Amino acid sequence: MHPSLQPGLTARLDYMVPAERTVPHLLPESGYFAAMPEVLATGYLVGIVEWTCMRALQGHLEDGEQTLGVHVDLSHEAPTPPGSTLTVQAELVAVEGRQLTFTVHAHDEAATVCRGTHRRAVIDTARFQARLNGRSST
């Protein structure tokens, strides 16, 4: 981690929601999801929040380091239909060892869509992959 990895880092992501990111497309093999309204799926919302937080870290990690999401505490307060633009803002508020905590807020043209916190852990990519390769799938 670079010394510049400090609270106060921010990022913003504007994301136009395509139909493929709505609830029926989340797990199409599930009839439950397939029958749901075509609005941004919470599962995709979480991914967009993670993406925004990763953007805030650009240039602040060492070569061979990445971050993985380890905790999500987010609301999903309003539906966002396809064609709407979701704006996500993230701020790094705490660095505790290799644990990074962000506050996040997202809105579309009509309402606040999401707010909460997200925590990421800084990993050594090669060491993580070596441990993962050692896991048995049985």
Tokens of 22: 């709505």
Q: Assess whether 50 carries a catalytic annotation.
A: yes
Which listed residue (38, 76, 105, 117) is catalytic? 76
d(CA 77, CA 118): 16
Which listed residue (25, 38, 42, 101) is catalytic? 42
Q: Assess whether 118 carries a catalytic annotation.
A: no
d(CA 120, CA 97): 11
Q: Assess whether 107 carries a catalytic annotation.
A: no
Which listed residue (2, 10, 25, 50) is catalytic? 50
Query: Taking CA 89 as the corner, what is the angle to CA 87 and CA 94, rounded to the nearest 5 degrees?
Result: 160
Please list the active-site residues.
Answer: 42, 50, 76
